[in-house]
Amino acid sequence: MKNLKHKIRLKKEIGLLGVYAIAAGTTLSAGFFLLPGLAATSAGEALVLAYIIAAIPLIPSMFSIIELATAMPKAGGVYYFLDRSMGPFIGTIGGIGTYLALVLKVSFALIGMGAYIALFFPELQIVPIAIIIAVILGALNIFGAKKSGKLQIFLVVGLLAILLLFIGEGIPQINYTRLSNVFDFDFSTLIGTAGLVYISYVGVTKVASLSEEVKNPERNLPLGILLAMGSAILIYALGTSVMVGVLPIEKLAGNLTPVAATAEIFLGRWGVYVLSLAALFAFLSVANAGTLSASRYPLAMSRDHILPKFFGKLTKHGTPLISIVLTVGIIIFLLVAFDPTGIAKLASAFQLLMFALLCLAVIVMRESKIDSYDPGYKSPFYPWMQFLGIITSFVLIGYMGILPIVFSVGMLLLGAAWYWYYAKNKVVRRGAIYHVFERWGRARYDAIDTELRGILKEKGLRKDDPFDDIVHRSAVLEISTKTDFENVVQKVAEILTNIIQIPVNEIIEHIMEGTRVGATPVTHNVALPHFRVASISKPEMVLVRSKQGITIDVFDPLTHEVEETLTVKGIFFLVSPEDNPTQHLRILAKIAGRVDDNDFAEKWENAKDAHELQEALLYDEQFLTLVVNNKTKTKSLVDAPVKAIEIPEGCLITNIRRGGQTIVPKGNTILKNNDRLIIMGEPEGIDILRKKFSE
């Protein structure tokens, strides 16, 4: 089996602040500094309501994207989610369309800078400056998400500080007579305007396309996106209220620099300078984050053979060079050939269509009942939240006019044509929707389950998964002679029957049935038989080692016939509760990942006793077990309180095992001889402790 750890992957460099900065930065740009003037032309003072209404269809889409991104944190975002849920045909359409819409948004942001630059340097040519900035941002992205992410944080911090100044100084200056006209509107015009400004919000979810590069995505993606969404709604509502309440509507309507014009009234000329600086921060922010996000779409689609494979090549910095170059090239073409400000409504319409499909994707993934679909965050109010997202998206599109509808259909046709004429014969993959069909008596495609299991392996355990506890209390069986799998199963069943209170013959049948249908993974001289039962409350495991070897028949999962006979040196029998299949799979994935490590075979082979066999399985760069013993380097810890131990920053003693019992450590907990400390933390800190106390 190929070692998955040796596959080239994007580096996980983006933390919570980076997620927030990218999500917020791609949102608070043209939607705040440029579009209010255009929206006021049609909706007047009611533009404030238009911005609030525009957020409604985004909320279900946001929850859906977070769920999909925490279940499948892979490059490609919308494309990847649609492809794996509804198949490569829909994935191709969504990938190409969303990629182009995102590139258009970046071009729109770069051109938007021109309106503010022209306030001070009217003699400069805007397009050449925009092209130079696009090239610089592309080069920065080539050197890694971490560097561009740091720029993003800097830009967003500066932007938020200036926007708070604008809102804080502007609210006392509001003329509430003007603001009272907010509720004087034509319904159709209001909804159409909401469709126009919808593009202001969609950047909040673009970070999903970078989810493969996010550290701890199950925590950082939901939290970062929700914080960014809350910030965006609050800033748009308050900011547009200041514009409407301070600037006469006849001066606001059609104004391409509405924020600067508003600030000049209550902050004077210096306010124009400061807010123009904020606009540049915002436009640079969305252009940087948009370039970063957009370049991952060709990468993800090349991995799936929908685009040529050279788009998937990564540099030594772990970034997709050709994808970035293509993205910058298209941006330059758009800057030279078109005026992107005229297509804001078109981009909004297609994004609405894609987000409606994403809501449908969550329904498909949930109803597929695939055990390995394991989101770290689940959308609330399922499926009504998703139905709301689908309905409101199409309602907004319907009120936006014929041109956005034609554009959306054109993008659909472009994606369909590319799939049929290029990708169709290169892709042998279907989506999770076939698992739904299988429940109706139709086709099923199990590779999606295999891929999701691979993702579980990459994601690792959750904090509440009791993996270390399972391993520490596991029974260990040492076999001194060469034997076969059936004999080992008999001995293991006799051990397990005393632990899980299930008859020996039932345990044997569970294990052998799983092996006969091809459900027992065999890799790196280790077999992983497993099953789930309803009568237990927590997972249990038995570790078996035989230096002489254990022969095991490997069955074909399709024909259920013996494919080959292998000899293994270790077998890990795992049994879990029936009602927690995803935890069962995460534990299996963790074991498989550890077995794949280069150092595992040596540690397993050379382990001197049951404790060392357990430790061989537990070894992890973010995990350490220390046994306190007065005959080893840990003797200084005997009879010492926990608070006296020098633990590197970023590390934590999670629990103490003492005589078969688990103790939650406190600062005044006194350590005893043979206590086993479980420590988790950053790899650097764990490595320091390992070197300090290793024998």
Highest mean pLDDT among 425-439, 472-486, 653-667: 472-486
pLDDT value, residue 152 = 62
Highest mean pLDDT among 319-333, 450-464, 507-521, 540-554: 540-554
The residue type at 251: K
Q: Which pair of tokens denotes residue 204?
A: 């909040």
Within 10 angstroms of residue 539's Cβ, the number of other Cβ atoms is 23
Highest mean pLDDT among 108-122, 272-286, 333-347, 538-552: 538-552
Residue 525 sits at the vertex; the CA angle it makes with 522 and 531, to the nearest 5 degrees, is 35
The mean per-residue pLDDT over the stretch 269-291 comes to 80
The mean per-residue pLDDT over the stretch 575-586 comes to 87
The torsion of the CA quartet 523, 528, 532, 537, rounded to 10 degrees, works out to -120
Residue 573's nearest CA partner among 672, 658, 663, 499 is 499
The mean per-residue pLDDT over the stretch 639-663 comes to 83
Kindly report the average pLDDT of the chain as a whole number: 81
pLDDT value, residue 508 = 93
Reply yes or no on whether the pLDDT at 285 is more than 80: no
Highest mean pLDDT among 73-87, 169-183, 318-332: 169-183
Reply yes or no on whether the pLDDT at 1 is more than 50: no
> 366 or 306, which is more confident?
366
Angle between helices 344-368 and 187-197 (to 10 degrees): 80
Within 10 angstroms of residue 302's Cβ, the number of other Cβ atoms is 20
The residue type at 407: F
pLDDT band at 208 (very low <50, low <70, confident <90, very high): low
> 17 or 384, which is more confident?
384
Contacts of 483 (CB under 8 A, 6+ apart): 546, 548, 550, 551
Rounded alpha-carbon distances, angstroms, from residue 210 to 14, 193, 201, 207, 435:
9, 30, 18, 5, 27
pLDDT value, residue 13 = 65
Reply yes or no on whether the pLDDT at 445 is more than 60: no
Reply yes or no on whether the pLDDT at 133 is more than 90: no
Give the bridge partners for 620, in sequence order: 623
Going by their DSSP bridges, the two strands 651-658 and 623-627 should be labelled as: unpaired
pLDDT value, residue 437 = 44
- CA-CA distance, 108 to 101, in Å (whole number)? 10
Reply yes or no on whether the pLDDT at 695 is more than 70: no
pLDDT band at 624 (very low <50, low <70, confident <90, very high): confident
Residue 301's nearest CA partner among 418, 204, 196 is 418
The mean per-residue pLDDT over the stretch 432-460 comes to 54
Reply yes or no on whether the pLDDT at 12 is more than 70: no
SS3 content of the chain, % helix, strand, coil (to 5): 65, 10, 25
Within 10 angstroms of residue 508's Cβ, the number of other Cβ atoms is 18
* 147-151, 374-378, 467-471: segment of lowest average pLDDT: 147-151
pLDDT tens digits, 114-125: 777 877 787 777
- Provide the sign of the torsion angle of the four alpha carbons 693, 655, 465, 72, taken in this order: negative
pLDDT tens digits, 517-549: 777 888 888 999 999 998 898 899 999 999 999
DSSP symbol at 337: H
pLDDT tens digits, 448-458: 556 556 666 56
Residue 334: exposure state from Cβ atoms within 10 A (0-12, 13-18, ≥19):
buried
pLDDT value, residue 6 = 39
DSSP 140-193: HHHT-HHHHHHHHHHHHHHHHHHHHHHHHHHGGG--HHHHGGGG---HHHHHHH
Reply yes or no on whether the pLDDT at 299 is more than 90: no
Give the bridge partners for 484, in sequence order: 551
- Provide the sign of the torsion angle of the four alpha carbons 395, 401, 405, 407, taken in this order: negative
DSSP symbol at 214: B
Q: Could you check whether 15-423 and 620-695 share the same CATH topology?
A: no
- Provide the sign of the torsion angle of the four alpha carbons 347, 353, 356, 358, taken in this order: negative
pLDDT value, residue 451 = 59
The torsion of the CA quartet 296, 297, 299, 301, rounded to 10 degrees, works out to 160
pLDDT value, residue 154 = 76
Q: Please provide the CATH number assigned to the domain covering 620-695.
A: 3.30.70.1450
DSSP 538-596: S-EEEEEEEEEEEEEEEEPTTT-SEEEEEEEEEEEEEEEETT-HHHHHHHHHHHHHHHH
Q: For residue 430, how many C-alpha atoms fall within 13 Å in the half-sphere facing its CB?
A: 13
pLDDT value, residue 557 = 66
pLDDT value, residue 551 = 93
Tell me if the bond preceding 380 is cis, omega within 30° of 0.
no
Say if CB 215 and CB 19 are below 8 A apart: no
Reply yes or no on whether the pLDDT at 394 is more than 60: yes
pLDDT tens digits, 447-494: 555 655 666 656 667 767 788 788 888 999 999 899 999 999 999 999
Highest mean pLDDT among 100-104, 491-495, 514-518: 491-495
Q: Strand order of the sheet with strand 676-681?
A: 623-627, 676-681, 651-658, 661-663
Angle between helices 217-246 and 258-267 (to 10 degrees): 60
Reply yes or no on whether the pLDDT at 350 is more than 60: yes
Give the bridge partners for 476, in sequence order: 543
pLDDT value, residue 338 = 67
- CA-CA distance, 373 to 399, in Å (whole number)? 36
pLDDT value, residue 151 = 63
Q: Which pair of tokens denotes residue 542?
A: 């038995």
Let me know if domain 15-423 sits in CATH 1.10.3720.10.
Answer: no
Residue 369's nearest CA partner among 427, 444, 456 is 444
462-611 CATH pick, 3.30.479.30, 3.30.70.270, 3.40.930.10, 3.50.50.60: 3.40.930.10
pLDDT above 70: percentage of residues in the chain? 86
pLDDT band at 262 (very low <50, low <70, confident <90, very high): very high
pLDDT value, residue 210 = 66
Going from N- to C-terminal start, the domains of the chain cover 15-423, 462-611, 620-695
- CA-CA distance, 452 to 91, in Å (whole number)? 17
